[in-house]
Structure 1
Amino acid sequence: MKSIKQLMDLTGRTALVTGGAGHIGMAFCETLAEAGASVAVLDIDPARTEECATRLTSQYGVKAMGLAIDLADTDAVIAAPAQVAGALGGLGILVNCAGFVGTSGLSGWVTPFEGQSVDTWRAALEVNLTAPFALIQAATPLLRASGHGSVVNIGSTYGVVGPDMSLYEGTAMGNPAAYAASKGGLTQLTRWLATTLAPDIRVNCISPGGVERGQPDPFVKRYVARTPLARMGTEEDMKGALLYLASDLSAYVTGQNLLVDGGWTAW
């Protein structure tokens, strides 16, 4: 029987993380590198992807590369797995962390439902749902060949439950339908792929709750008051879930959505 240390060891494995230069994405890259994996950091900003890859190599002594790709560019998305395999020697772990979250200034995004636009709806689904579909499809032969293929999709509590809009009163924040629908779709895609790609590839999902990142005080106070663990999440809170699902710690787990939300959805 393997030890816990052996089960969590990713030495010799290669991971691709989309949104890898973002807050949660970089925490995931660090987690995988610390466990011994080679890591490809995929994000839209060339300078940040290279900076993150360089930091992983210097801090953890693993091979790493940056991939500057716009997830709305389907051809580039489809080509990414082969690029990673060519540079880092295969692909066994795929983490779909990138997310279209928009901004308060984006037209047709943070606005009452009647004002939410079809264009922003399509943009959100393209990045949050279509890109993961295309990337997993392109990566499937490599994941299967690795002998330990693991896909981890990053959903959201709002792909599981409806929003409490009172949280946002008096702020510029909101909760667009497109974000919820795209994350709910990603969770269901996880289940569909888990049964169709088995037994060679495991497919699971992590759905974070709210992560504190400088939101307005009224929102934070309301959110904390509604959360059983009485705080918002941090990037560090997500690392254990990612390592569990990416490694052999979860070798008999597929098709699951792990809610890392401080109990938000347990009410």
Structure 2
Amino acid sequence: MRNIKELVDLTGRTAMITGGAGHIGQAFCDALAEAGADIAVLDMDADRVEDTAVRVAEEWSVRTLGLTLDLADEATLVTMPGEVAEALGSLDILINCAAFVGTSKLTGWGVPLEEQSVATWRAALETNLTAPFALTQAAIPFLRRTGHGSVVNIGSTYGVVGPDMSLYDDTKMGNPAAYGASKGGLIQLTRYLATVLAPDIRVNAISPGGVARGQDPKFVERYVARTPMGRMATEEDMKGALLFLASDLSAYVTGQNLMVDGGWTAW
């Protein structure tokens, strides 16, 4: 029987993280690299991708690869698993972390339902749901050959429960339908893939609660009041859940959605 250090050890494995240069994505890169994995960082911002890849390599003494990619570019997207496996020797772990959160120039996102646009809805589903499907599909042969392939999709509490719109009163924030719908779809895709790809590849999800990132103080106060743990999440709160699902600590776990929400959905 292996000990805990052996179960969590990712030495010799390679992880690919979409959205790897973002806030949560960088925390994931650090967690996996600290456990010994080589890291492929995929994101849209070339400078942030390169900075993240260089920092992670220097800090954790692992090999890294930075790849700039728009997840809506399917033709390029599906080549990424092969490119990562060729450059770093394998592809053992896929983290679908990138998400459309309305930071583009598209309109009709964080506005009342009647004003939400179909174009932005489609863009959100393309990034949050279609891209993870296409990328996972392309990664199957590489994940399968490792003997311990693991896919972790990053969902959201709003893929599980509906929003309380009163949290957003008198703020510039919103909660668009496309975000919750795409994340709910991703969680269901997780279950589908888990049953279809077993026993060779495990597929699980993490659904974070709200992460503190300088939101309107009125929103934060209301959110915290509704959270049993009495605070919003930090990026660090996600690292343990990710490492559990990516490593052999969870070798008999598949098809699950781990809520990392401070108890938000337990009420």
TM superposition score normalised by structure 1: 0.99
Unpaired runs of 5+ in structure 2?
none
User: Match of 1:173, SS?
Assistant: coil
- 1:13 corresponds in structure 2 to 13
Distance (whole Å) between structure 1 residues aligned to residue 103 and residue 154 of structure 2: 19
Inter-CA distance 157–124: structure 2 relative to 1 (3 Å threshold): same
- 2:251 corresponds in structure 1 to 251
Q: Kindly state the Cα deviation for residue 107 of structure 1 after the two structures are TM-superposed.
A: 1.3
Amino acid at match of 1:232: M
Distance (whole Å) between structure 2 residues aligned to residue 90 and residue 138 of structure 1: 14
Distance (whole Å) between structure 1 residues aligned to residue 218 and residue 205 of structure 2: 30
Structure-to-structure mapping, 1:130-209, within 5 angstroms: 130-209=130-209
Distance (whole Å) between structure 1 residues aligned to residue 162 and residue 203 of structure 2: 24
- 2:40 corresponds in structure 1 to 40
User: Match of 1:253, SS?
Assistant: coil
- 1:72 corresponds in structure 2 to 72
Q: Kindly state the Cα deviation for residue 103 of structure 1 after the two structures are TM-superposed.
A: 3.9
Unpaired runs of 5+ in structure 1?
none
1:237 is aligned to 2:237: yes
Q: Kindly state the Cα deviation for residue 96 of structure 1 after the two structures are TM-superposed.
A: 0.3
Inter-CA distance 266–182: structure 2 relative to 1 (3 Å threshold): same
- 1:101 corresponds in structure 2 to 101
CA offset digits 1:35-63 (Å, max 9, x no partner): 00000000001111111111111111000
Distance (whole Å) between structure 1 residues aligned to residue 106 and residue 65 of structure 2: 31
Amino acid at match of 1:186: L
Inter-CA distance 104–77: structure 2 relative to 1 (3 Å threshold): closer
Q: Kindly state the Cα deviation for residue 157 of structure 1 after the two structures are TM-superposed.
A: 0.1
Distance (whole Å) between structure 2 residues aligned to residue 214 and residue 43 of structure 1: 22
User: Match of 2:210, SS?
Assistant: coil
**Percent identity between the two aligned chains:** 72
CA offset digits 1:25-82 (Å, max 9, x no partner): 0000000000000000000011111111111111110000101000010011101001
CA offset digits 1:128-186 (Å, max 9, x no partner): 00000000000000000011000000000000000000000011100000000000000
- 1:119 corresponds in structure 2 to 119
Distance (whole Å) between structure 1 residues aligned to residue 102 and residue 146 of structure 2: 35
User: Match of 1:24, SS?
Assistant: helix
User: Match of 1:206, SS?
Assistant: strand
Q: Kindly state the Cα deviation for residue 252 of structure 1 after the two structures are TM-superposed.
A: 0.3
Distance (whole Å) between structure 2 residues aligned to residue 157 and residue 164 of structure 1: 12
User: Match of 1:17, SS?
Assistant: strand
Distance (whole Å) between structure 2 residues aligned to residue 45 and residue 220 of structure 1: 28
Distance (whole Å) between structure 1 residues aligned to residue 237 and residue 179 of structure 2: 22
TM superposition score normalised by structure 2: 0.99
- 2:227 corresponds in structure 1 to 227
Inter-CA distance 81–105: structure 2 relative to 1 (3 Å threshold): closer
Distance (whole Å) between structure 2 residues aligned to residue 115 and residue 60 of structure 1: 46
Distance (whole Å) between structure 1 residues aligned to residue 184 and residue 103 of structure 2: 20
Distance (whole Å) between structure 2 residues aligned to residue 119 and residue 204 of structure 1: 29
**Number of matched pairs:** 267
Distance (whole Å) between structure 2 residues aligned to residue 12 and residue 206 of structure 1: 24
Distance (whole Å) between structure 1 residues aligned to residue 34 and residue 105 of structure 2: 37
Distance (whole Å) between structure 2 residues aligned to residue 22 and residue 102 of structure 1: 14
Distance (whole Å) between structure 2 residues aligned to residue 46 and residue 30 of structure 1: 19
